[in-house]
Amino acid sequence: MKTTQLPPVRVTAAIREQIEGVLLDGETLSHFVEQASIDAARRRKAQQEFVARGRASLARALETGESYAADEVLDAMKSRLDIARKAVETGQGVVSTRRP
């Protein structure tokens, strides 16, 4: 695979010193910047997908008229979490609390 370069990033001397101060043994500044860019791109993609799922869910709710109050959803989630915790505490292992 062909590689390409990212544009140079201008930062203050203080920022560069901060970054250099957290580099791992053997890690280069270039590798740090590359990894930071990859991580930021993944986070943004995840955020965009999250927003898209939310918008699709809202569109379905508006289309079907079916929606749930936040308190109802949170109570159901808490209940499933409590069931799972009790199963672990009693040694029954993790019990699936997912709805089909």
Cα distances (angstroms) measured from residue 58 to each of 15, 61, 67, 75: 42, 5, 9, 20
Mean pLDDT of 73-85: 95
pLDDT at 100 over 80: no
Same domain for 17 and 37, yes or no, is yes
Confidence of residue 94 (pLDDT cuts 50, 70, 90): low
**N-to-C CA span, the chain:** 43
Q: 87, exposed or middle or buried, with CB in 10 Å at 0-12, 13-18, 19+? A: middle
- CA 71 to the chain's CA centroid: 23
- Could you tell me the residue range of the domain that residue 86 belongs to? 68-100
Q: Which DSSP string corresponds to 4-37?
A: --PPP----HHHHHHHHHTPPTT--HHHHHHHHH
C-alpha 36/C-alpha 26 separation (Å) is 16
Mean pLDDT of 44-64: 97
Same domain for 76 and 62, yes or no, is no
Same domain for 54 and 75, yes or no, is no
Same domain for 85 and 61, yes or no, is no
Residue that is written with structure tokens 């009790």 in the block: 86
Mean pLDDT of 4-18: 95
Q: What pLDDT was estimated at residue 1?
A: 85
> What's the number of domains the chain is made of?
2
If one compares 99 and 72, the residue with the highest pLDDT of the two is 72
Same domain for 73 and 62, yes or no, is no
DSSP state of 97: -
If one compares 90 and 93, the residue with the highest pLDDT of the two is 90
Tens of pLDDT, residue by residue over 23-49, are 999 999 999 999 999 999 999 999 999
